[in-house]
Amino acid sequence: MLSLGQPSDGYTLVTDQTSVRLDNTPSPLTAISIVVAISALTFAGELALADQLPWGEEARGVAAVLFGAIAAVWLTVRNGGSLADIGLTRPKRWWTVPLWVLGIFVTFGAAQALVPQLLAPYFDLPPPDMSRYDFIRGNAFAAVSFAVLLPLTAAIPEEIVYRGFLIRQFERLFDNWPATAALAVLSQALIFGSVHFQWGLGGVVMTTIMGLIWGAAFLLCGRNLWIVILAHSTAHIVLVLQLYSAPMTS
């Protein structure tokens, strides 16, 4: 016996022994490619229109991650999901949130100090190139503005794309592989690190490590994206303070 039903988001093929869902949900590789392509094309547009855009090199890449986050949310909702599917849910225990944020931040700080030492016998890892943010040094208005804007224009959309969306899609992609979660975390971290190429090799390595720590924390804390968003925002604020207080160079 064979029958064909039509639910709101696709078709259901029913036989005597099986029921197979045929819907419009893209494969995980397709979903990943769509988000990455939209981000890459937007970044290319930023480069091509650099002279006409109202922002300079210091904000280059912001539009790319914002459009990537919009695409990630749209794909999730379009396929019957919700914001909860990418981790935007209330923490189960509010009192644990500061502890998680502190633990994530301290772990990243320790890794940031330790990794260059571990790599030193093989090659000298240059520090991240933050020269395009030199205008923040000693500029209180710029420092406060960036400390407020970075969580909105970087921490939130980046966490939506890389931890909330890509980890889930890579888990689908590696569903039948051993260590699925570990492969998903590693894959999104490699992409996250590579898109920070403007910070040089040191920046790529450090943001890859950041992606690994943030991704692991996202899974360990019950996939609550707000926790890693807060940790990411804390890291940005500390970075801004470091840039503001850096000694002037002659």
pLDDT digit string, tens, across residues 13-68: 444 444 444 457 889 999 999 999 999 999 999 888 878 877 777 778 899 999 99
Do 21 and 7 contact (CB within 8 A), yes or no?
no
Does residue 69 register a pLDDT over 80? yes
Q: What percent of the chain has pLDDT over 90?
A: 73
Sheet with 19-23, strands from edge to edge, namely: 3-5, 10-14, 19-23
What is the residue type of 103? G
Q: How far apart are CA 153 and CA 236, in angstroms?
A: 11
pLDDT digits (tens, 9 = 90+) for 157-169: 999 999 999 999 9
Q: pLDDT tens-digit profile of 233-249?
A: 999 999 999 999 988 66
The closest of 184, 162, 190, 192 to 71, measured between CA atoms, is 162
Cα–Cα distance, 188 to 23 (Å, whole number) = 26
Instruction: State residue 194's pLDDT score.
Output: 96
Place of tokens 């998903």: 184
- Residue 77 CA to residue 66 CA, distance in Å, equals 17
Residue 156's CB is within 10 A of a number of other CB atoms, namely 21
pTM for this entry: 0.87
Mean per-residue pLDDT of the chain: 88
With beta carbons less than 8 A apart as the criterion, state whether 115 and 181 touch.
no
